[in-house]
Amino acid sequence: MRAEILKTYKLFINGQFPRSESGRYFQIPNPKTKKPLANVSQASRKDLRDAVQAARKALPGWSSKTAYNRGQILYRMAEVLESRKPEFIDEISKMTGNPKKAEKEVLTAIDRLVWYAGWSDKYQQILGTVNPVALPYFNFTLPEPQGVVGILVADELSLIPLVSKLAPAMVAGNTLVMIASEKFPLSAITFAEVIATSDVPAGVVNILTGFKNELIPHLAKHMDVNAVNYTGTDQALVKLLQEEGSANVKRIIAHPEPKGEAWLDNQKAQSPYWINSFVEMKTTWHPIGV
* Burial (CB count within 10 angstroms: exposed 0-12, middle 13-18, buried 19+), residue 101: middle
As a whole-number percent, the residues of the chain with pLDDT over 90 amount to 88
Structural domain includes residue 2: no
3 state DSSP class of 27:
strand
* pTM for the structure as a whole: 0.94
pLDDT tens digits along 216-262: 999 999 999 999 999 999 999 999 999 999 999 999 999 999 999 99
Structural domain span for residue 248: 9-277
Number of domains in the chain: 1
Cα(40)–Cα(67) distance, integer angstroms: 35
Structural domain includes residue 3: no
Which pLDDT belongs to residue 194? Answer: 98
Structural domain includes residue 284: no
Structural domain includes residue 288: no
Which pLDDT belongs to residue 217? Answer: 96
Structural domain includes residue 70: yes
Structural domain includes residue 289: no
Residue 25 reports pLDDT greater than 70? yes
Q: pLDDT band for position 3 (50/70/90)?
A: confident
- In sequence order, what are the residues at sequence separation of 6 or more whose Cβ sits closer than 8 angstroms to the Cβ of residue 29? 35, 36, 37
User: Do 112 and 163 meet the contact criterion of CB atoms below 8 Å apart?
Assistant: yes
> How many Cβ atoms from other residues are within 10 Å of residue 287's Cβ?
9
Q: Which of 188, 238, 163, 1 is nearest to 88 (CA)?
A: 188
Which pLDDT belongs to residue 4? Answer: 80
pLDDT tens digits along 182-214: 999 999 999 999 999 999 999 999 999 999 999
Residue 290 reports pLDDT greater than 70? no
Structural domain includes residue 139: yes
Q: What is the mean pLDDT of residues 66-89?
A: 97
CATH number of the domain at 92, please. 3.40.605.10
Residue 277 reports pLDDT greater than 70? yes
Structural domain includes residue 282: no
Integer angstrom CA distances of residue 270 from 125, 172, 188, 224:
18, 14, 19, 28
